[in-house]
Structure 1
Amino acid sequence: MPTYATRALVSVLCELAADADPGELSVRLAATRAGDLRPTDGPLTGLDAETPVLSDFYFPDAGSSLAGVFGVDLATPTGQTAGRFVSHPDGDPTVSVTDDLHATVLVAVPPWNVEDVRAYDRDDRRLDFVLVDAETTEPDTPV
């Protein structure tokens, strides 16, 4: 089964990776059901409404002072991350033993192009990766 991610998410992550270069970046990712996404370029065809699509991320520095004191990352809700994005400024596009692993890992390398991002599982098996032209919708606000 392919791994899906919104083009907008991967674009922002590549920009963050470029800003962090020559340092590495590791970011937790959240998914949204395809049926809850708003298409940005025509209808979402070929995706079941229940298909998880990586769509959001948790800022890598959020809660770092708390983690430094208590050794626990309190910035990310437990069990609510569907993947991880890592950057490899050395140009190696595969998962490394020093990466923070997750069930799905997206790996980016210079020159930080969206089309060059690869998806892997935690066992370093490359997965089919599909960019989706959609975005998350803002939650309805009460009137």
Structure 2
Amino acid sequence: MSRPDEEAAPVYATRGLVDLLLERAAAAEPSQVNAVLDSTPAADFETDLGLDPSTPVLSHVYLPASGSAVSDVFGVDLGTPAGRGRARFLTHPQGPATLTRRDDLAGVVLLAVPPWEEIQAFDRRSRRLSLTVFDAEPPTESLPE
């Protein structure tokens, strides 16, 4: 368990992901967005990010699928691969610019509010975290044949 005076770990994300999330938030307004985020280890990027190789960098989003009957009834999101997505992206179109008791929480929560120009990072206890955005692309992934 962390001590109250213990500094929280910083959060890292790619510029492409942040831009996509802000565009999605603006397009969905006045509705809220609640999406699962996933990361790529810093070592997997072609560019040296200056981070420990195992440091997670948020790089992917799993957007909720339409027709989410299984999720609505059982609370199971079949669109997110098992063991993935320990971070979430949330929007509060009418505010506040902090987490609320009604939010779906994760280890890290990225939150945006209008005018959709920046994202803030929080831990599950609503502590603000520093967010560093890298102009780097994650490696291209493909499905096995």
Instruction: Tell me the TM-score normalized by structure 1.
Output: 0.85
Deviations 1:71-114 (CA, angstroms, capped at 9, x unpaired): 4221112221120000111132111111100010000011111x
1:62–1:77 CA distance, 2 compared to 1 (3 A): farther
**Once the 2 structures are TM-superposed, how far is the Cα of residue 69 of structure 1 from its aligned partner?**
5.5
1 or 2, which has the higher strand percentage?
1
Deviations 1:26-57 (CA, angstroms, capped at 9, x unpaired): 00000100111244xxx52x312211000001
Q: Which blocks of at least 5 consecutive residues in structure 2 are unaligned?
A: 1-8
Match of 1:138 among 137, 140, 144: 140
Deviations 1:1-25 (CA, angstroms, capped at 9, x unpaired): 2100111101101111111101111
Give 1:119-130 correspondences, 5 Å limit: 119-130=121-132
Counterpart CA distance in 1 for 2:43 and 2:135 is 13
Partner of 1:5: 13
Counterpart CA distance in 2 for 1:139 and 1:48 is 22
Q: Give the letter aligned to residue 117 of structure 1.
A: I
1:26–1:50 CA distance, 2 compared to 1 (3 A): same
Match of 1:96 among 96, 100, 108: 100
Counterpart CA distance in 2 for 1:72 and 1:47 is 34
Q: Which has the higher contact order (CA 8 A, sep 6+)?
A: 1
**Once the 2 structures are TM-superposed, how far is the Cα of residue 65 of structure 1 from its aligned partner?**
3.2
Partner of 1:34: 42
Partner of 1:20: 28
Counterpart CA distance in 2 for 1:90 and 1:81 is 26
Q: SS at the partner of 2:22? A: helix
Give me the CA root mean square deviation: 2.0
Aligned length: 136
- What fraction of aligned residue pairs are identical, expressed as a percent? 48
Instruction: Tell me the TM-score normalized by structure 2.
Output: 0.84
Tell me which stretches of 4 or more aligned residues in structure 1 moved more than 4 Å. none
1:123–1:134 CA distance, 2 compared to 1 (3 A): same
